[in-house]
Homo-oligomer: A and B are copies of this chain.
Amino acid sequence: MPEMRMETSRVTHVRQLLRERKYRTLSVDLLRWHPADIAEVLEDLEPSERLLALRLLPDEVAGEVLAEMEESSAREILDDISPERLADILEDIQDDDAAALLEDVPDALREEVIALMEAEEAEDVRERLSYPENSAGRLMTADVVRLRRRWTVAETLDYLRHAAQTLGSVYYLYVVDEDDHLVGVVPLRALVTAAPEKTIREIMTPNVVRVNVFDDQEIVADLAAKYNFVALPVVDSEERLVGVITIDDLVDVLEEEATEDIQRLGGSEPLGTAYFATPIRTMIRKRIGWLMLLFVGGTLTGSVIRLFEDITTQFTALTIFIPLLIGTGGNAGSQTVATVIRALALGEVEFHEIFHVVLREATTASTIGLILGGIAFVRALLWHTGYEIAWVVALSLPFITVWAAIIGAMIPLVADRLGIDPTVISGPFISTSVDATGLAIYFTIARLILM
């Protein structure tokens, strides 16, 4: 909370200085803040103010601020800034951040900017962009310190002192052989505490956990989370060291994946941008597809009701329970889906365990269904629907909840097996498909008991 108040007052402060054209004061103030804080303030400014404020920052800081900003806000700035300034800015930040900023820029502008950059930096950015989106190659920086096994600790410390400028956030130092093959790792901490005359070979850990340059970012993030690494080395198909991925980028990946999962579970395509930064037409576009598909699927429920019109017209009291029964089926299905999807994401369940999962879910759901059936029985009697209809409702509930749980457990597991993101086809999709079948179960039981 105090954090937030601070942010609002910062925005007011920056606005005022801009209005009063006190640019020198503003530039001094901005430089006192962390780039992540400057980014937050800039996001809350009008586009014209934003551009003005960015102009007051040195290239390196401007680059870090852009890298910390929401994609959509950053893109607005990139559209307005001169290609020359942009090239200067990108030269001064890490190649992975520069590539991320250029990712969604129109091809022509991207080429123009890269051509304006210095040869070495331009080469690095071009290489980053040559890897598929969401791959380790995109996420890594090629800026990595390489040690040799024969070096002593003292020599290495000396080397690091001279390489200081190019040293990013280094926590581990990687050891390579003559052909650049990754052969070991030395935590910076181990180097600092080792006797100066020891060789790298003596203090390094061989068998380094590594990722391939084409590995998906989610695999990389999960690996870092599992082993508690703050950085992971990236190798090519010949096991040559090509870069390093640091934990800050992986934390972003983990948050991004969780956001996508949650938005998909809610039955919407992931927005991919911050809430207020998303235009309403985009929100509509991301939602209408699913909703329309679900709606057309949902018309099946109408067909089911028409199919059983004989019994609903004869026993109109059956209608009273329609929303309750399909609602409960949908809720039971959602519980299973959310649990199974998260278990899949965390690697706790796999496809070959499908029968075990279905059994667990069905057992859970049948207990729950029986209890709810009991409640429904009493409720029906209180509505004076008569014993027969009360029995129909009470019996339908366990069948519907078990059915919903089975579908809710199987669909994500099968989807995952087929290489489809389970969150994409689950959630509301399952509740809609359970709706029509749940109704069919209800009316069938009604026919058996009442007719």
Contacts and interface: CB of A to CB of B under 8 A. Distances in A.
Interface of A: 4, 34, 36, 157, 160-161, 163-164, 167, 169-171, 187-189, 191-194, 209, 224-228, 230, 247-248, 251-252, 254-255, 258-259, 261-263, 265-268, 271, 274-276, 280, 283-284, 287-288, 290-292, 294-296, 298-299, 301-302, 305-306, 309, 312-313, 316, 319-324, 326-328, 330-332, 334-343, 346-350, 353, 356-357, 360, 363-364, 367-368, 371-372, 375-376, 379, 383, 427-428, 431-432, 435-436, 439
A267 B364 contact: no
A228 B254 contact: no
Q: Is the interface of A mostly helix, strand, loop or mixed?
A: helix
Contacts of A432: 327, 331
A110 B294 CA distance: 53
Contact of A343 (B36, B275, B324): B275
14 contacts: A34-B227, A169-B189, A171-B188, A192-B192, A228-B248, A259-B342, A262-B342, A263-B342, A268-B339, A283-B360, A291-B335, A292-B375, A295-B324, A327-B431
Contact of A346 (B192, B259, B353): B259
Given A275-B339, A294-B331, A348-B276, A227 B36 contact: yes
- Pick the most buried of A247, A302, A356, A383: most chain B CB atoms within 10 A of its CB: A302
A356 B276 contact: yes
A360 B265 contact: no
A16 to B, nearest CB: 20
Contacts of A367: 284, 288
A136 to B, nearest CB: 15
B267 A338 contact: yes
A439 to B, nearest CB: 7
Given A265-B266, A299-B324, A301-B323, 10 more contacts: A4-B347, A36-B227, A225-B251, A228-B248, A228-B251, A258-B258, A259-B342, A262-B338, A287-B332, A319-B322
Given A266-B265, A283-B364, A284-B364, A193 B171 contact: no
A323 B338 contact: no
A346 B342 CA distance: 19
Closest 8 CB pairs of A and B: A266-B338, A228-B248, A301-B323, A258-B258, A275-B343, A164-B193, A302-B320, A275-B348
Nearest to A283: B364
A267 B335 contact: yes
Nearest to A408: B266
A211 to B, nearest CB: 11
A288 B296 CA distance: 31
A302 B339 contact: no
Nearest to A296: B375
A188 to B, nearest CB: 5
A363 to B, nearest CB: 5
Contact of A251 (B254, B274, B290): B254
Given A259-B342, A266-B337, A330-B431, A371 B288 contact: yes
Given A292-B371, A319-B322, A439-B323, A330 B328 contact: no
